Amino acid sequence: MVIRESGILFRGFTLLHAKYHQTSDDKIDKDLRSALLTALLNFAESAFSIDSIEYFEMKKFTISFVEDKIKPQDSPEPEPIIVYAILDKEKKMDKYLSKVVIPSLKEIMRKFIEKYDGKNLSEVSQFRTFKENLDKVFGSETKTVDEKLKGTFF
């Protein structure tokens, strides 16, 4: 299984986006897609009275989510923040998600909140360096089988 992209969403906007492999047409607006993902997640949680949704399955991909709260500088109250990953849909997704993806997303969330809680979250350029954390946490999970083999033999 391959993690194709990951990101951090706040107030329906993309704070950070890491693309490892193509998932959609590049013409799709990042913020429009972020707003849609946020709305879908909020709708599903409200409509089904569930505390949190861990993932959505589509025909080709699975989108996994971890939601928490962060206190931005411009708000008196903590607000929802979402870390997501888009990965190839395959058999035995539940096991892979619970053992690998969701713990990785939780670790990314913990590190992000630790670093940016209480800060101004409207200036997205400050998050570029945080992408290294995503790369480090996901590690080889972002590589295809061919890429993993190539790295082993060359």
Task: Dump pLDDT digits (tens) for 100-144.
Answer: 899 999 999 999 999 999 999 999 999 999 999 988 888 766 565
- Alpha helix segments (H runs only) across 48-138: 93-96, 102-116, 131-138
User: Residue 147's pLDDT is what?
Assistant: 53
Hey, what's the torsion of the CAs at 94, 97, 98, 104, to 10 degrees? Answer: 180
Distance of CA 10 to CAs 16, 25, 45, Å?
10, 23, 17
pLDDT means per 10 residues in the chain (154 residues)? 87 89 68 83 78 81 92 94 90 86 94 96 92 84 54 51
Q: What domains does the chain contain, in order, with CATH numbers?
A: 3-153 (3.30.450)
Cα 141 from Cα 24, distance rounded (Å): 19
User: Residue 137's pLDDT is what?
Assistant: 87
Q: Say how far residue 119 (Cα) sits from the centre of its chain.
A: 20
Would you say 79 and 32 are in contact if contact means Cβ atoms under 8 Å apart? no
Give the β-pairing of 3-10 and 55-57.
unpaired
Tokens for 115, please give them: 């670093």
CB atoms within 10 A of CB 108: 25
Give the β-pairing of 79-88 and 3-10.
antiparallel
